[in-house]
Amino acid sequence: MKKKSIWVIIAALAAVGILAGAIYLWIASRRTELPDDVIQHSTQPTQAQPSATPELAEDPVDWDKLHAISEDIYAYIEMPGAKISYPIVQREGEDSYYLRRDVYGNYSVPGSIFTKYSYNSTDFNDPVTVVYGHAIVSDGSMFGSLQSYMQSTTIDETTTFTIYLPGRQLTYQIFAAVPHDKKHILYYNDFSQEDQFNQYFEKVLNTRSLYANINEEYAPEFGDKIVMLYTCLNGEASYRYVVMGKLVEEIPLAS
């Protein structure tokens, strides 16, 4: 009888452990749910208005709703072809804070789309801004569809992504999507120096890989503002996948 009781206890503890594990995995892997209508989606970015038209286009992002979630939210990125539509966050003094946290600050395996305080400002005026995101391939969330989209796309003038800041819309022309080593891009390169800028991007444009997608027609020049979307390379743990775009249009928006 005593032996049977022990087995009952063991079975009960095992059941509790399984349940606790399932709850933990659900919490860890849940996707960030944002309030409805934080951004008014459109198939095309806002077009610049003729100079004779004084009215500014409306900002499609509801910054009040986003800032009510977190003051760390400072931008919003959209790339419909790759199913990307997310706030961008940055935590002062904690570069990796959002690596495993959603925009609410809760633990989450997918993390958030973020930049690093130690290396980038929040105005996208740096020579190169690196935007980080996990590749959640199972459902394509975060940057999970980025690689498959870029490998099935011919880079042309329509291959762009858009970043919104309060009162600003920035459009970036993609010129390269390449595998990249795991060295910290901004730590090892000073892109404010023309020789380093040119040397780095010459190497990028000469990348030879089955994963690479490059159009030299849109090659950057020193002085261009570059944004890199940085994520994992599917199937290659020792490399990363980086999509690079240069700023080609900035439109002021009504705040």
pLDDT in tens, 143-191: 999 999 999 999 999 999 999 999 999 999 999 999 999 999 999 999 9
More confident residue, 51 or 66: 66
* Residue 15 scores a pLDDT above 90: no
* Residue 53 scores a pLDDT above 80: no
Residues 193-206, mean pLDDT to the nearest whole number: 98
What is the tens place of the pLDDT at every residue in 237-249?
A: 999 999 999 999 9
pLDDT at residue 6, rounded to an integer: 59
Q: How confident is the model at residue 250 (pLDDT cuts 50, 70, 90)?
A: very high
Lowest mean pLDDT among 16-20, 233-237, 249-253: 16-20
User: 51, exposed or middle or buried, with CB in 10 Å at 0-12, 13-18, 19+?
Assistant: exposed
* Residue 251 scores a pLDDT above 90: yes
Residues 51-78, mean pLDDT to the nearest whole number: 91
d(CA 228, CA 118): 16
Residues 97-120, mean pLDDT to the nearest whole number: 98
pLDDT at residue 27, rounded to an integer: 45
Q: Residue by residue, what is the 3-state secondary structure of the chain?
A: CHHHHHHHHHHHHHHHHHHHHHHHHHHHHCCCCCCCCCECCCCCCCCCCCCCCCCCEECCECHHHHHHHCCCEEEEEEEHHHCEEEEEECCCCCCCHHHCECCCCCECCCCCEECCCCCCCCCCCCCEEEEECCEECCCCEECCCHHHHHHCCCCCCCCEEEEEECCEEEEEEEEEEEEECCCCHHHHCCCCCHHHHHHHHHHHHCCCCCCCEECHHHCCCCCCCEEEEEEECCCCCCCEEEEEEEEEEEEEEEC
Lowest mean pLDDT among 35-39, 108-112, 246-250: 35-39
pLDDT at residue 138, rounded to an integer: 92
Q: How confident is the model at residue 19 (pLDDT cuts 50, 70, 90)?
A: very low
Closest CA to 217 of 132, 143, 159, 138: 159
* Residue 219 scores a pLDDT above 60: yes
CATH 2.40.260.10 fits 57-254, yes or no: yes
* Residue 21 scores a pLDDT above 50: no
- Which residues contact residue 8 at a Cβ distance below 8 angstroms, ignoring those fewer than 6 apart? none
* Residue 94 scores a pLDDT above 60: yes
More confident residue, 76 or 26: 76
pLDDT at residue 17, rounded to an integer: 42
- For the chain, give the percent of residues with pLDDT over 70: 81
Residues 83-92, mean pLDDT to the nearest whole number: 98
Q: Kindly report each contact of residues 19-28 with a partner whose C-beta sits within 8 Å and lies 24 or more positions away, as own/partner.
A: 27/106, 27/107, 27/108, 28/107, 28/108, 28/109
* Residue 28 scores a pLDDT above 60: no
pLDDT at residue 209, rounded to an integer: 95
